[in-house]
Amino acid sequence: MNGRALLGTLALVLLALLVWELRWVLLVLFGAVVLAVALDVPVSLLRRRLPLNRPSAVALVIVTLVVVGWKVSELLLPELLQQANQFTQLLPVLLERLGDLAGGSMAFRSFEERLLQLATWDKLQPLGTQLLGVAGGAANSTIQILLMVLLAILLALDPRHHQRLVLAATPQFWREQMRSLLGESREALGGWLAGMTISAVAVFLLTWAGLALLRVPLALLSGLVCGLLTFVPTIGPTVATALPLAVALLISPAKVAQVLILRLLLQNIEAFVLTPLLLSRTVNLLPTVALMAQLSLGALLGLPGVLLALPLVVVLQVIFQRVLVEQVMDRWT
């Protein structure tokens, strides 16, 4: 190995160490980019229909989101908290019913005892604090979120100057490709965010309405869990189905069958109708790649890594296609 190769290898190692040390800063920055793109989608739609400048459109979108979020929380949050408390009260009964179905095995009894020890708010609240407090010593998670939101607003207010900053740091011979790559990444990320958000909201509302019509308790809580886990590929919808099925088990086997049919119907509609329709013009993630990305970033960065894994994969998939495949592999003869 000559001196130039050794120097290059050393530079790559130092760069990797620097990225690892600054991982929380980079995570906040990427989260801000994701939020900025999420803001830019309604801002762009609004500016196409109304003669507004970008700051006015951004302010209108933020005010609308805050007002809608406040009204929705006023309507749903009290019932949601009530159902969460009701679930903790039903959990011992549910475990007893599952124990009866399992034949009273020793392994299930041990699992039941451990779960019941955690099935109180006094135990669940510290556990939730541990899950959410993954700031890694770099900063408090609340401060990270506030910084992320602030950076996202600044990016959404003036995306062109930030794009020029990235282009200025790019070699001149590759600036056109970089401009195209930034545009395609933004389009893919924006389309994916819009499509998945609409899909998750639709799953939440349909599951909530379906369970309410079937008179299954905790319909709102179950619908919310099913909607949120729509963002987790492959295993998310299956895991989400466990909650309404468990609640239906307390009523009757016939109710379990009804809930199972409802969830299978909604999962197929989401997988084969909603997702292909909403994501037809953007990146289609392979379930295996998405799941491995969430597991890997979750192991490295905790809950923030899990939340930002899929947006990162969307961007990386565009970069790999345009750079690695088209610029390297396709020209390799």
pLDDT for res 294: 82
- Picking from 6-20, 121-135, 302-316, which range would have the lowest pLDDT averaged per residue? 121-135
Q: How far apart are the first and last CA of the chain?
A: 26
How does the average pLDDT of the chain come out, rounded? 81
Which one is predicted more confidently, 90 or 282? Answer: 90
| Mean pLDDT score, 52-59 | 91
Q: Specify which of 7-21, 182-196, 270-284 reaches the highest per-range mean pLDDT.
A: 182-196
pLDDT band at 1 (very low <50, low <70, confident <90, very high): low
Region 295-318: mean pLDDT is: 84
For 254-268, what is each residue's pLDDT tens digit?
A: 898 999 999 999 988
For residue 59, pLDDT over 90 is answered with yes
Calculate mean pLDDT across residues 273-279: 77
Least confident of 1-15, 73-87, 295-309: 1-15
Residues 6+ apart with CB under 8 A from 246: 94, 98
156 or 7, which is more confident? 156
Q: Which of 35-39, 202-206, 256-260, 288-292 has the lowest mean pLDDT?
A: 288-292
DSSP string, 168-227: HTS-GGGHHHHHHHHHHHHHHHHHHHHHHHHHHHHHHHHHHHHHHHTT-SSHHHHHHHHH
Bigger pLDDT: 333 vs 285: 285
Q: What is the pLDDT of residues 97-153, one digit of tens each?
A: 777 766 655 555 555 555 555 545 455 445 445 444 444 444 457 787 888 899 999
CA distances from 33 to 85, 159, 330 (A): 36, 10, 30
* Residues 301, 23 contacting (CB under 8 angstroms): yes
Residue of 83 and 324 predicted with greater confidence: 83
Confidence of residue 296 (pLDDT cuts 50, 70, 90): confident
pLDDT above 70 (res 291): yes
pLDDT recorded at residue 106: 53
- The predicted pLDDT at position 280 comes to 65
pLDDT at residue 139 in the model: 45
Q: Find the angle CA(201)-CA(75)-CA(222) to the nearest 5 degrees.
A: 45
pLDDT band at 209 (very low <50, low <70, confident <90, very high): very high
- Looking at residue 201, its amino acid is V
Residue 324 has pLDDT above 90, yes or no: no
The pLDDT score that the predictor gives to residue 265 is 92
Per-residue pLDDT at 8 = 76
The pLDDT, as a whole number, for residue 90 is 81
